């Protein structure tokens, strides 16, 4: 276990979450994957234990948990069910722009219901033609009196159609490039806001991913986050923080796969002995364990840099997300190999873990984008 510096209260909370995950979440994981339906019971479970309150300050109804504690919570949940771990991670993602750029009135309006779990949050940046190139978005907003009118659409939005609170990014000045993008809080029942296609995904199948459509959608001026033109900066600052949660999700998936592989290797007998006694299997398990622990160190380190207010955290958050998600793909793939034919069957969770792991290399910035972030930070440091 990697060294961590959480308070005694947070340590007790993480231990409680681990117990909840093993006793309540794990038994639901296969059915959540099979049905492809959002697990409202898991959302209620997290809400009833104040787990969804972790990312929110105490003055707004949350518990003000450290970034490290949030990462550890996402890890423990994802170790048993990646979809359930994502509920907490996206509650933080969707609300982070409000935390970073919202005023006190906006926080008091939205945070208590988000912290209680009564409301879900979503983050709307990606579009059909604008993924890694976020600046290529086409959704635009025009101010008309005391309202903005939004037109366009967003694609691949986690919690899309379920979230009552959506942070949406749109162009307010087409001539200003990224400085012409603004951020808005869009409520689910605003006129002109609707849900398009629901995606049929490879993994995290219980997490709803949807298209959001804006047709003359009316948004009050007071729902602008920050000032006009600050949206791109808000989005990038948000992703710098929240991609650590994806690293934690990947870490949890990898740890779950390692647990499965070790347990199976001990009980599976071939040639009159457990396959764990074969050096080839031992070497695979050793490599898997090393990757998991290295990923944990990076995820925890990046989390603590955020807690310490270290300006270097962005580079390390990219490292943590990139390495942990690559490790998750390697470890889940190896877990299937250890289980052999059984690993390929849905009777065992290994194949689900691999399908769930894949998305961690893609969303909240592909791993190719993370490598760009890391390289640019390194070159900037060298030049300075």
Half-sphere exposure (CA, 13 Å, Cβ side) for 218?
Answer: 7
Which residues does 300 contact at the CB level (< 8 Å), separation at least 6?
2, 3, 4, 68, 71, 72
Check residue 311 and give its pLDDT: 86
- This prediction has a pTM of 0.96
Confidence category of residue 384, pLDDT binned at 50, 70, 90: low
58 is annotated as an active-site residue: no
Q: Which two tokens stand for residue 13?
A: 């909370």
In percent, the amount of the chain with pLDDT more than 90 equals 95
Tell me the pLDDT tens digit for each residue of 166-198: 999 999 999 999 999 999 999 999 999 999 999
Question: What's the pLDDT score for residue 269?
Answer: 97
Please give the torsion angle defined by the CA atoms of residues 203, 240, 100 and 129, in that order, rounded to the nearest 10 degrees: -60
Range 233-383: architecture per CATH: Up-down Bundle (1.20)
Q: What is the pLDDT of residue 272?
A: 96
Residue ranges of the domains in the chain? 8-120, 122-232, 233-383
Average pLDDT rounded to a whole number, residues 131-149: 94
Q: Do domains 8-120 and 122-232 have the same CATH topology?
A: no
Comparing CA positions, the residue from 216, 72, 84 lying closest to residue 141 is 216
Q: Please, what CATH class does the domain formed by 8-120 belong to?
A: mainly alpha
What is the Cα–Cα distance from 359 to 355, expressed in whole angstroms? 8
* pLDDT tens for each residue of 350-378: 999 999 999 999 999 999 999 999 999 99
Domain 122-232: give its CATH code. 2.40.110.10
Confidence class for position 1, pLDDT limits 50, 70, 90? low
Specify whether the CB–CB gap between 125 and 174 falls below 8 A.
no
**pLDDT over threshold 90, residue 22:** yes
Task: Tell me which H or E stretch contains 34.
Answer: helix 29-35
Which position among 118, 277, 364, 381 bears the catalytic label? Answer: 364
Q: How high does pLDDT run on average in the chain?
A: 96
Asked if residue 259 has pLDDT above 80, the reply is yes
């Amino acid at each position: 276990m990697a060294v961590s510096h959480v308070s005694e209260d947070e340590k007790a909370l993480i231990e409680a979450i681990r117990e909840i995950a093993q006793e309540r979440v794990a038994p639901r994981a296969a059915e959540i994957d099979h049905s492809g339906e959002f697990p409202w019971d898991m959302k209620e479970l997290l809400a009833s234990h104040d787990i969804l309150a972790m990312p929110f300050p105490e003055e707004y109804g949350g518990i003000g948990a450290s970034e490290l504690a949030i990462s550890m919570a996402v890890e423990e949940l994802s170790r048993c069910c990646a979809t359930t771990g994502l509920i907490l991670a996206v509650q933080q993602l969707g609300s982070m722009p409000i935390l970073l750029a919202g005023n006190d009135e906006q926080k008091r309006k939205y945070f208590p219901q988000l912290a209680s779990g009564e409301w879900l949050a979503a983050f709307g940046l990606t579009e059909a033609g604008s993924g890694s190139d976020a600046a290529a978005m086409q959704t635009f907003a025009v101010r008309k009196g005391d309202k903005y009118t939004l037109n366009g659409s967003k694609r691949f939005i986690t919690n899309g159609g379920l979230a009552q609170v959506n942070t949406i990014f749109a162009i307010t000045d087409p001539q200003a490039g990224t400085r012409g993008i603004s951020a808005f809080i869009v409520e689910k029942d605003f006129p002109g806001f609707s849900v398009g296609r629901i995606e049929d995904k490879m993994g995290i199948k219980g997490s709803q991913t949807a298209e959001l459509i804006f047709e003359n959608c009316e948004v009050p001026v007071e729902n602008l986050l920050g000032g006009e033109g600050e949206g791109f900066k808000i989005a990038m600052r948000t992703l710098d923080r929240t991609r650590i949660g994806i690293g934690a999700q990947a870490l949890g998936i990898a740890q779950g796969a390692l647990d499965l592989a070790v347990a199976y290797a001990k009980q599976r007998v071939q040639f009159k002995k457990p396959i764990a006694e074969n050096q080839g299997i031992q070497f695979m398990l050793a490599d898997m364990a090393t990757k998991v622990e290295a990923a944990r160190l990076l995820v925890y380190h990046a989390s603590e840099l955020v807690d310490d207010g270290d300006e270097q955290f962005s580079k390390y958050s990219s490292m943590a997300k990139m390495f942990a998600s690559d490790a998750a793909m390697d470890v889940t793939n190896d877990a299937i190999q250890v289980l052999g034919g059984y690993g390929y069957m849905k009777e065992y969770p290994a194949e689900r873990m691999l399908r769930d792991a894949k998305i961690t290399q893609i969303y909240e910035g592909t791993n190719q984008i993370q490598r760009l972030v890391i390289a640019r930070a390194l070159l900037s440091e060298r030049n300075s």
